[in-house]
Chain A
């Protein structure tokens, strides 16, 4: 089961009741209807759009249903670089977010356990950025990191940066923005796992003469693996399709354009719906494949 990672680590003893209850089906109905209406219908429409073709002589943005598989060929040949760049940025930003979030979640979930008030306060601080639109926060970073802004001008004054160096519009700025924006999505699931960590296991590790590192690797990390896996998925998937951080108007430039930016531009500016749809489907497929492999490989026991 691919998404078993979301389940708790406790083994499932009882299997689900076999008998099909009419009530259960009835209760499922709203959910199924919702998925059919808001997932299945748009998905089918997207697939159909991705095969559309332009009729010669028609005006801009007019397409008709065809079976133009070349759309996919065009997308692969033209935008494979953007696809790879998106996945690369997503991997790096997810890794950065994990590096930052794990110690933070550990601190809040384990170290602060004896101080419930401080713990609650720290958690609030993690969530606090959500009170402000992430667009505004990203724009604020753009100002802070601008050429004449406090960070870059200080680094220039200290001769740590050349006088013509800049940060906004570079891959580094985009990855920074992505990691920054998704850190809470990483921290919270890891915190949920670590908060339940039974410290007696850690104690047992040291009783058995394991080094702290060894104890961490054999006890803490595996027990928090469900949190790490859901955290990485919650960051990696949206980051792959993000079009805000990398856009010209925020932290990116034309050299940092990700798939999301291409889809947005094709859809809204060029009115090239088939290409945008084909790109979306390829992106969905790529994420689905990568995530399945990841979840399968990192079945909680194999993580270490």
Chain B
């Protein structure tokens, strides 16, 4: 379905008015939303836009979406810029995405996407290999709105190649109905009554990061391989004893919903989403001993020549009002300064949401897993995978 506006001025104004009326996903799911379906049906008559088109590869449930499956903020960008954006939910996992495109990247060929959002450590790898292009900050004036704490990460000093899309925490989640006592720390997952009902993430830095934090290791510091192996040993023990049953990527949500998993290590924004989808059953907390903090970042892969259009897109999403709108839907941390003020206009409670706009106190509880060397990436990854495979 085309997302551009129809040419007929009357219909055009109708569609624009309808789009303005859109509200946050939570509000929508709670049933407070007005009817916008009729207006969206009108947009079916839209004609093809002129101008450039780009492809944006991203993760599932990671952008504002209405009931019709349209992306309101993206639609507005298309109207304003005349650039047509094909939004592809192509990234399921950093590793599998990398495996899919690395051969083209090595040859400098097009990977079928002009920009893609990947997690810090994977962006670090792409930069090491020279698989991404420098961003022309002159085209992204709004980049000045980037949170100061994110301006100089180890994997990309000065943000030459990447800019954050959204960030999030890894922490603990439990089913309030089946496990009312709740969780405070990672070690609470090892309670005998939770045996076989515990899930963890297949993202190594989150699962092992949380265990290491509880073992007293600062995961952002230059920790030793022994510290990592100590956490792996505990992880292996819990998997082999059957305490941990599910080790998954984003599909862990299914296990929470069908209640195979009662308590788990999860990503922050998802809990809000499933609570809205399947009844207010789950609670999220950052462990007292510390959680992890990560960001997914825009990069421009080698092989595309549409840098200027992508930069326009990034610039658009660094507008605080747009960032606030996206954050209200996805419930992840927005990297944009000023978005909080904009969120206050949408809903004061939104601006207080610690998962979207964490304050100093919340941020003190989380750490970024430090950048690993290539050798560490290989050997730590192998250790982690060997536990997953029961080898």
Contacts from A to B (Cβ < 8 Å): 58-61, 78-79, 81-82, 139, 142-143, 146-149, 164, 166, 168-169, 248-249, 253-257, 261-262, 265-272
Contact = CB atoms under 8 A, between A and B. Distances in A.
Nearest to A81: B391
Interface in B211-255: 239-240, 242, 245-249, 251, 254-255
Contacts of A78: 391
B374 A60 contact: yes
A255 B202 contact: no
A146 B259 CA distance: 7
Given A248-B246, A261-B389, A269 B196 contact: no
Interface size classification for chain B: 35 or more
Closest 3 CB pairs of A and B: A146-B258, A148-B259, A254-B390
Contacts of A257: 388-391
Given A147-B197, A248-B248, A253-B245, A265 B388 contact: yes
Nearest to B258: A146
B382 interface: yes
Contacts of B32: none
A269 B385 contact: yes
A146 B196 contact: no
B194 to A, nearest CB: 10
A270 B239 contact: no
Contacts of B240: 255
Contacts, number: 93
Contact of A269 (B95, B195, B245, B246): B95
B391 A147 contact: no
B202 A248 contact: yes
B265 to A, nearest CB: 14
Given A61-B102, A268-B99, A82 B389 contact: yes
A79 B242 CA distance: 20
Interface of B: 95-96, 98-99, 102, 125, 128-129, 195-197, 202, 239-240, 242, 245-249, 251, 254-255, 258-260, 374, 377-378, 381-382, 385, 387-391
A164 B389 contact: no
Contacts of B388: 248, 254, 257, 265
B258 A254 contact: no
A270 B391 contact: no
16 contacts: A59-B128, A59-B129, A60-B125, A78-B391, A81-B391, A142-B258, A143-B254, A148-B260, A166-B260, A248-B247, A254-B387, A254-B388, A268-B99, A269-B96, A269-B381, A270-B381
Contact of B95 (A148, A166, A253, A268): A268
Contacts of B247: 248, 253-254
A194 B29 CA distance: 56
A168 B99 contact: no
Given A147-B197, A257-B389, A265-B385, 16 more contacts: A59-B125, A78-B391, A146-B259, A166-B245, A169-B260, A248-B247, A248-B388, A249-B248, A253-B245, A253-B247, A254-B389, A255-B240, A255-B242, A255-B390, A257-B391, A262-B391
A271 B390 contact: no
Contacts of A139: 254
A148 B374 contact: no
A270 B260 contact: no
Nearest to A152: B260
Nearest to B250: A249
A146 B391 CA distance: 25
Contacts of B95: 268-269, 271
B259 A147 contact: yes
B302 to A, nearest CB: 16
Contact of A147 (B125, B242, B260, B387): B260
Contact of A143 (B99, B242, B248, B258): B258
A262 B198 CA distance: 23
A249 B388 CA distance: 12
Contacts of A256: 390
A262 B258 contact: no
A270 B258 contact: no
A268 B248 contact: no
Nearest to A59: B374
